[in-house]
Chain A
């Protein structure tokens, strides 16, 4: 018995070593787990491996802030749970402050010239640390059985819809301050000062009786929206469109004030040992034809300027909106995040 066990242990060790070596050769790319990861595994990563010979291991990342904490803690221990991560703009900037990201070599990224300037992310010293990967919109979503006509404005959230809304629970992922400012205060400039922010918070607290669910888990709200349990709220344009395609009675509307435009950028953790391969991946992904592929297969908005793309008007309208979007005030969260979170917890989610 001892003999068998010893043999088994040796076999397991050998397997682990072989497996470990094979995994070390693959570039680990983190994207949001679930729909994003499934789509990237099906449509994007195989093509990258085919064209460059670099194997990719996809890593399921949780929400941006949670992933940032994991990357940060791991980097302090010299570990890289992923080499390249898709980071939303807020966590990306926090990572810059703590020097989490590798400064990218622009010489090796010729395709970055196609990327929208706002998504060529530079740190305080002007070093390139992030390159736009995909953009997504947070829009006004409704259940079509409950609301046969589509709403036209974010102001509908303040309408006569008691206990009917599902809203994201935190300031930094709901962007409700920006939405309220754009809808009732003529733009997000009012969020420049604390007095202005408090005015917006006052307006925002007026919709409390309408809120049935302050959600952190997307699945929980999507299920409730599809069943009509919670017939209105804010959600992601891409996944709502896919649910509608699958026959669920839901719709995503770009309100007159615009959808909220947020984006994910590729960034490389300083603990990565595959910085060369990471450059190849980021440059490959920034090609307009790959951006076309991503928009068509995943339903996210491209990060490359429209003029370089081959998307038809119809295809473009499916993933984006011709009007001006509401752009999140990332600076506000960096400057006053803790104060804002306190005001939010004490007044908005009561």
Chain B
């Protein structure tokens, strides 16, 4: 509204169009989501933040108080190391997911509509699998006794069956598995709106398909890619069954420790303060990812081809 060019135009306008937005109904309609957001998000978050300041009673539960011990413990060397591990794991998983999802979605949207549908159905279907099912399925698939390595042995590709879980690679693999459908669905609208003729024009002008993809397509979709990256990062960072089931203690992330404190150790104040620390850290990093995506990617100079 403030960018309206001239005040003199305003009186003429308001009579016709602006009145429509001032009736009681739009406000009433807006009040509902605002109320829901307050009740279902702001209030519980406030309770959790406050719970972090309550006093832990070691042999019992907790009492209402204002102490900073829990936040201090949530920010000690051990938990900061766990936070760093959680963030790095989630970032690596996010990158790996994008490396698969971006070319996949690009190639998918180049196909005729009818051919896209089965893929999209498959992607949507895999989204319905819960984290628990995914974690347990992979722990079987990566096991020595009944896992994929037995298949590779029978194909002559390996000498003996191996146990690939629990461990770092098992955790990363499962992270990418749960994040992939989300990433594809989030990238799909942008990629399907992309003008088909742009990569074709790049090709006509002599760019190899990969060069055209990197120099023409990627700059056009970088915002969507960054937003998807932020989404995947937050999604993966919050997972706790996967690192708990498929990880060794070295891969136990902050969410695993929050679950332990809240459920197994009855220490709700520490669980709450760890949750707030994780929330702040993940929000900052997700914002940074989006900010990086909104800036222009550095132009990549590629050796020119003969015309």
A346 to B249 CA separation, bound complex (whole angstroms): 10
State in angstroms the CA–CA spacing of A334 and B60 once bound together. Answer: 8
Q: Is B163 an interface residue (CB 8 A)?
A: yes
Q: Is the CB of A335 within 8 A of B59?
A: yes
Q: Does B190 contact A (CB under 8 A)?
A: no
How far, in angstroms, from A228 to B163 measured CA to CA in the complex? 11
User: Nearest-CB distance from A60 to chain B (Å)?
Assistant: 15
In the complex, whether A216 has a CB less than 8 A from a CB of chain B is yes
- A window 156-202: CB within 8 A of B: 163, 169-170, 172-173
B40 within 8 A of A: no
Chain B residues in 8 Å Cβ range of A72: 61
Whether B57 pairs with A97 at a CB distance below 8 angstroms is yes
Q: Is the CB of B78 within 8 A of A170?
A: no
The answer to whether the Cβ of B166 comes within 8 Å of any Cβ in the partner chain is: yes
Nearest CB in chain A to that of B245: its residue = A220
Give A187-228 as 1s and 0s: 1 = Cβ < 8 Å from B's Cβ atoms: 000000000000000000000000011101100100010011
A229 touches which of B145, B248, B257, B264 (Cβ 8 Å) = B145
How many whole Å from A274's CB to the nearest CB in chain B?
A: 24
Known contacts A63-B263, A65-B265, A216-B244, A350 near B59 by CB under 8 Å: no
Q: Does B262 contact A (CB under 8 A)?
A: yes
Q: Is the CB of A334 within 8 A of B61?
A: no
Number of interface residues of A (CB under 8 A): 38
Query: Given the interface contacts A338-B56, A338-B58, does A345 sit within 8 Å of B264 by beta carbon?
Result: no
CB distance from A229 to the nearest CB of B (A): 5
Asked whether A116 is an interface residue with its Cβ less than 8 Å from the other chain, the reply is no
Minimum CB–CB distance from B243 to chain A (whole Å) comes to 12
- Judged by a CB distance under 8 angstroms, whether A37 is at the interface is no
A69-B250 contact, Cβ under 8 Å, with A98-B61, A224-B143: no
Asked if A349 CB lies within 8 Å of chain B CBs, one says yes
Find chain A residues with CB under 8 A from B61 CB: 72, 94, 97-98
Interface residues of A in 321-350 (CB under 8 A from B): 334-338, 341-342, 345-346, 349-350
Q: Are A170 and B264 interface neighbours, CB within 8 A?
A: yes
Determine if A93 is an interface residue (Cβ-Cβ < 8 Å): yes
How many residue-residue contacts, CB under 8 A, span A and B?
79
Q: How far is the CA of A171 from the CA of B19 in the complex (A)?
A: 67
Q: Contact: A337 with B59, CB < 8 Å?
A: yes
Q: Are B143 and A94 in contact (CB under 8 A)?
A: no
Which chain A residues border B268 with CB–CB below 8 Å?
69
Is B56 in contact with A170, judged by CB distance below 8 angstroms? no
- Across-interface contacts of B244 in A (CB, < 8 A): 216
Q: Cβ of B166 and Cβ of A65 under 8 Å apart?
A: no
Q: Flag whether A10 is at the interface (Cβ < 8 A).
A: no
Q: Which of A136-162 contact B (CB under 8 A)?
A: none
Q: Which residues of A contact B136 (CB under 8 A)?
A: 220
Chain A nearest Cβ from B47, distance in angstroms: 12
B264 touches A173 (CB 8 A): yes
In the bound complex, do residue B57 and residue A98 qualify as a contact, i.e. CB atoms below 8 Å apart?
yes
Q: Mark B205-249, 1 if CB is under 8 A from A, else 0.
A: 000000000000000000000000000000000000000110011
Partner-B contacts on A (CB < 8 A):
62-63, 65-66, 68-69, 72, 91, 93-94, 97-98, 163, 169-170, 172-173, 212-214, 216-217, 220, 224, 227-229, 334-338, 341-342, 345-346, 349-350
Give me 18 A-to-B residue pairs in the complex whose CB atoms sit less than 8 angstroms apart, sorted by A's number. A63-B263, A65-B265, A65-B266, A68-B266, A69-B262, A69-B268, A72-B61, A94-B61, A172-B265, A212-B166, A220-B139, A227-B143, A229-B163, A337-B58, A337-B59, A338-B58, A341-B265, A342-B78
Q: Which 7 A-B pairs have the closest CB atoms?
A: A97-B60, A98-B60, A349-B249, A334-B59, A227-B145, A66-B263, A98-B61
Q: Which residues of B contact A (CB under 8 A)?
A: 56-61, 78, 136, 139, 143-146, 163, 166, 244-245, 248-250, 252, 257, 260, 262-268
A-B contacts besides A69-B266, A94-B60, 4 pairs, CB < 8 Å: A65-B263, A170-B264, A220-B245, A335-B58
